[in-house]
Structure 1
Amino acid sequence: MISFSSFKTLVFATGLTSLSFVAHGQQSSTPEADSFGQCIERLQQEARDAGVSERTTVDILGQVKPLERILSYDRNQPEFVQTFTGYFSKRVTDWRINKGREKLQEHKEFLAELTKQYGVPAQYLIAFWGLETNFGSYKGKTPIIPALTTLACDQRRSVYFSGELVQALLLLEREELDHKQMVGSWAGAMGHTQFMPTAYMKYAKDGDGDGKIDLWNNELDALASAAHFLQNLGWKTGYRWGREVIIPEGFDYQLAGKSQPQPLSFWSQQNVTQVGGKPLGESDLKSALLVPAGHTGSAFMVYPNFDVILRWNNSEYYGIAVGHLADRINGKGTLSKPLPELPNYTLVEMQQFQEKLNQLGYDVGEADGILGPATRKGVRAFQVTVGLIADGYPSKETVEAVKNAPVEIDDAKNS
C-alpha cells in the first residue's frame, strides 16, 4: 500500500508491490498540451471541491508541467523475473542489520514508548524503515506534485492518482510545506517510510511533539507514523510475523501456500518443527507454510501479522525480508540453509511456461510471468503427475518437463 521500492522487479511471490502498475497492452503516451491542460482544469476543480485553497490550486497545480519520464517508469517491465535468492540477498544485508541495530539503540527509549502505545515491537519499525529508504539515506528525488499530476492525467490509473494528488495538495497546506521540497518516489511515495499522500494525511503522527509532522526530516515522526499505521492495519500485539521452520522428508508440499492456512497444531502433526527441532506447539493460531525458493531453500511458517506486513507491501518476498530483518536486528541468527542458486528466467520464458501449463490443462490464469498462487497451484499439480517434489517452484527440471510434455488433442473438437 505504500512502498514502490521494489516495483521494477517482478518477483516469485503472490504479487507485485501492492501499488504496482505494470501495463498490459494499454500504452498511452504523455498527454499532449491541450489534453493535459484540460486535465489540469479537471484536477483544479477536484482540488477546490476537496477544500484546497485557490492560491494552491492556481499558483501550484496550475503551473505543473508533465514529467515524461514518469510514464516510462510506470510502463517498465523487467527483462528477468527475480528469484527469492536474488531479492532476499540484496535486502537482508549485513549493513542493514548492523545499521538497524544502531538505530534500535539510538531510539531505544522512544521506541519502547511506541511499542507500549501501538503494540508494534521496535525491531519491526526499524526493519520497515531499513527496507523502504535505507534508514532515510535515499528517500527519492522526484517532485511529488508534478509526478502525481502526470499520472493523474494518464487514463490507466487516473482515478487513483487524482485522489492522491488532491491529498498531497491538502497535505502541503496542512503542514505548510514548500512544494519544491516535496520529493520522493516517481509514484508519489514520500519520506523515511515512503508514505503515499493519503497514508500521510491519515496515519502520520507528530512523534517529537513540535506541532508538525515531517516524514522527510524527522526520524521520530517517521517511526511514530509507521507504528500508528501498522496498528491500524491490524497488527496483533504479542505475536511475531512468522519463523523459519524445518520440513520433514516425505512432506506433502501441496499443503504449502498462503492461501491454505491451518491451525499451528496441524503443522505440528505433520512433523514440521522450529529450526532447532522444538515443536511448533498445539495452538489454534492460523498459520501458512511458504517455500519461496522451492524445497532446496528455507521454509517459513507465517502468522496473521505477516498479512499485516503484506498490507504495507503486497509481496511475500517483501514480507519475509521484513520479518527476517527484524529478527536479525533483534539478535536472532541467520537462516539455517544457504540461499540456493536458482534459475534465472526471462519474463518471456516464464510466460511461455505458463502458457504451456494452461495448454496441458493446469489452469494458471493469465500468462503474465508472475509466479502467483494460481501458477504455484498448477505447478504443484503438474509435479505430482510426473513424480517431482510438488513444491510449486519452477525448477529447471520442472520447466523442462513441462516443455517436453505432449499436449493432448481433443478428437471431439476436430471431428
Structure 2
Amino acid sequence: MTRLRSAGLLAAATLLPVPAAAGPDASPRPEARAAAALTTELRPAMAVFLPGTSLRPRHRPADLVTVATENRMPVPAAKDAAFRDWIGGFRARAQGIRDDVFDAAFRGVRYDAAIIERDRNQSEFTKTIWDYLDSAVSETRIRNGRAALERHGATLARIEARYGVEKEVVAAIWGLESAYGTFRGETDVIEAMATLAFDGRRGAFFEEQLVAALKILQSGDTTARNMRGSWAGAMGHTQFMPTSYLAHAEDFDGDGRREIWGEDPTDALASTAAYLKHFGWVKGMPWGVEVQLPQGFDYRLADREILKMPSDWARRGVVGMDGRPVRDFGAASVLLPAGSKGAAFLIFKNFEVLERYNTADAYVIGVGHLSDRLRGGPPFRGGWPRGDRALTYDERKEMQRRLTSAGFDTQGVDGRIGPLTIAAVRAFQQSRGIVPDGYASLALLERLR
C-alpha cells in the first residue's frame, strides 16, 4: 500500500481545517489538502459561504475600482489592471480553447479578493474529530439522507448495479459534500479559479483547473454562468473539480450532457460512483469497523503501514465491539484518530479509496460512518476525549518545532499533523514512557514546553 509521506501531507483527523460554523444542513467538508498532495482528484471544501454583508467602504478611495456586487471586497486599480493583463497572457496558454468560448467564459469576470482571503486563512479553522462527526453524522443529516435514499432509490440502485458502489456510500458523499444538493455553491467557478490562478498559493494547480473548466464549457455540458460551485472551484452535488469532471463525469441519464450542477443529481451521483470504482472500490468490503483493543495493547502497532488480516488482529485481542473477530474482508490496519483515549478502528482498502476524495481521516470516517448509519448501523460505541480541544495552527507548528528541537525530526514545520509528525510524536512518547499512540494533543505540547 503506497502512502504519501511528508511532515503534514495526510491531515490527522483530530486537527481539521474546517469552518467552525458548519451546521447539520451545511457541508462539513474539511478544507483543501496540503500543497504537496494536490492532484487532479483534489476538491477543496465548499463548507460555509461568505456572509452577505457589504465589504465596500462608504467613501471609496480613488485607487480602488468599482466592484460588480455588494459582497465583494474593493480591489486596488493596480491589482485589477494586473489581473486583466494576466487574463491576456492566460489566453495564450489555454491551448485548444476557441476564442468564442474563452470570451464568453471571462465576460464580466473580476478579481475577487475575498476568495484569496479564504484561501490564505483556512488553516486557522480547526475542529476535533468528535465535533466534526457531531455535524457530519448528525441525526438531521441521517434523517435527510434516508429521505434522499427513498426519493432517489431507483436511480441509486441502478448506479450501484452499474458501478459496484453501494448506494449508501454514494449518498453519504452527497450528504457531506452538499447536504444532499442543498448547498452546491453559488460562486462563479471561472472567476474563482482565475483569481486563485493569478494570486493564490497554488497558481499552477488552479490554472490547470481553469483550463479544464474551459474544456467543459467547450464540450457544451453547461454554460459559464451556470458553472457555479465553491469558492475554490468544486462543482455540483458531489463537488467535483474540473479535472476530475473531465476524467470521471458520467452522462448516466443519457441526455447527451454530463450535468452535475442542476437540480437533478443523477449524473453527479453516477460520476461519484464511477470515480470510486476507478480507484478500486471493493463492493461488500467495509471502509472500516469499530473495534476494541485489549488491555496492554502495543500502540506501536497502530500504524497505517502495519497490515494484518482481522483474524490475525483477533489473535492479538483486537476484536469487534461485539467481542467477536472481525470478518476477514481483507488486510487491515489499526487507526486511532484520537489516540488511545478515543475510538479505534480496523480500516480496509476502501478507506484508502475514500481518501481519494479527501485525505483527512475525519472526512473518510464521516463518509463511512454516515453510510453505515444510512444502512441502519449503530452509532460508534467508543468514547472520545471531549475534554481536549484542537490545537491551533500556530500550536501545531510550535509542536513540530519543539519535537524537532528535542531530536524528533518532523521533517518540516507546516502546521499539518501528518504521518511524519505522528511518527515523531510516537518516538517522543516512547522516550518519555507515555503511551505511544501518536496523538498530537494539547497535553503533549505542554509536556514539550
TM range (shorter): 0.7 to 0.9
The CA deviation string for residues 187-228 of structure 1, in whole angstroms up to 9 with x for no partner, is 111110001111222211122222222212221111111111
> Which sits farther off after the overlay, 91-100 or 255-264?
255-264
Kept after mapping to 2: 8 A contact 1:13/1:315 = no
Q: Following TM superposition, by how much is the alpha carbon of 1:286 offset from its aligned partner in structure 2, in angstroms?
A: 2.1
The 1:372/1:13 distance shift into structure 2, 3 A limit, reads farther
* Structure 2 Cα separation of the partners of residues 253 and 337 of structure 1: 17
Kept after mapping to 2: 8 A contact 1:388/1:398 = no
Question: In the alignment, which residue of structure 2 is the partner of 1:407?
Answer: none
> Which sits farther off after the overlay, 235-244 or 326-335?
235-244
Question: In the alignment, which residue of structure 2 is the partner of 1:303?
Answer: 348
* Structure 1 Cα separation of the partners of residues 34 and 442 of structure 2: 29
SS at match of 1:392: coil
TM-score (normalised: structure 1): 0.86
The CA deviation string for residues 35-71 of structure 1, in whole angstroms up to 9 with x for no partner, is 3233212221233x22x22212234336532112121
The 1:119/1:334 distance shift into structure 2, 3 A limit, reads same
Kept after mapping to 1: 8 A contact 2:163/2:277 = yes
TM-score (normalised: structure 2): 0.80
Question: In the alignment, which residue of structure 1 is the partner of 2:182?
Answer: 137
* Structure 2 Cα separation of the partners of residues 366 and 260 of structure 1: 24
What letter corresponds to residue 434 of structure 2 in structure 1? L
Question: In the alignment, which residue of structure 2 is the partner of 1:390?
Answer: 436
Question: In the alignment, which residue of structure 2 is the partner of 1:409?
Answer: none
* Structure 2 Cα separation of the partners of residues 349 and 324 of structure 1: 29
What letter corresponds to residue 323 of structure 2 in structure 1? G
Alignment equivalent of 2:379, drawn from 300, 313, 334: 334
Question: In the alignment, which residue of structure 1 is the partner of 2:147?
Answer: 102
Q: Following TM superposition, by how much is the alpha carbon of 1:353 offset from its aligned partner in structure 2, in angstroms?
A: 2.1
Alignment equivalent of 2:91, drawn from 25, 44, 65: 44
> Which sits farther off after the overlay, 66-75 or 203-212?
203-212
Across the two proteins, how many residue pairs are aligned to each other?
Answer: 386
Find out whether 1:20 has 2:66 as its counterpart: no
Kept after mapping to 2: 8 A contact 1:22/1:74 = no
Q: Following TM superposition, by how much is the alpha carbon of 1:176 offset from its aligned partner in structure 2, in angstroms?
A: 5.0
Question: In the alignment, which residue of structure 1 is the partner of 2:402?
Answer: 356
Within 5 A, what are the aligned runs for 1:68-107? 68-79=113-124, 81-107=126-152
* Structure 2 Cα separation of the partners of residues 245 and 11 of structure 1: 19
Find out whether 1:294 has 2:307 as its counterpart: no
Question: In the alignment, which residue of structure 1 is the partner of 2:160?
Answer: 115
Question: In the alignment, which residue of structure 2 is the partner of 1:203?
Answer: 248
Find out whether 1:54 has 2:54 as its counterpart: no
Find out whether 1:260 has 2:260 as its counterpart: no
Q: Following TM superposition, by how much is the alpha carbon of 1:122 offset from its aligned partner in structure 2, in angstroms?
A: 0.6
Question: In the alignment, which residue of structure 2 is the partner of 1:411?
Answer: none
Question: In the alignment, which residue of structure 2 is the partner of 1:343?
Answer: 389
Q: Tell me the C-alpha RMSD between the 2 structures.
A: 2.4
Q: Following TM superposition, by how much is the alpha carbon of 1:98 offset from its aligned partner in structure 2, in angstroms?
A: 1.0
Find out whether 1:379 has 2:425 as its counterpart: yes
The 1:296/1:34 distance shift into structure 2, 3 A limit, reads same
SS at match of 1:243: strand
> Which sits farther off after the overlay, 169-178 or 92-101?
169-178
SS at match of 1:262: coil
Question: In the alignment, which residue of structure 1 is the partner of 2:196?
Answer: 151
SS at match of 1:179: coil
Question: In the alignment, which residue of structure 2 is the partner of 1:184?
Answer: 229
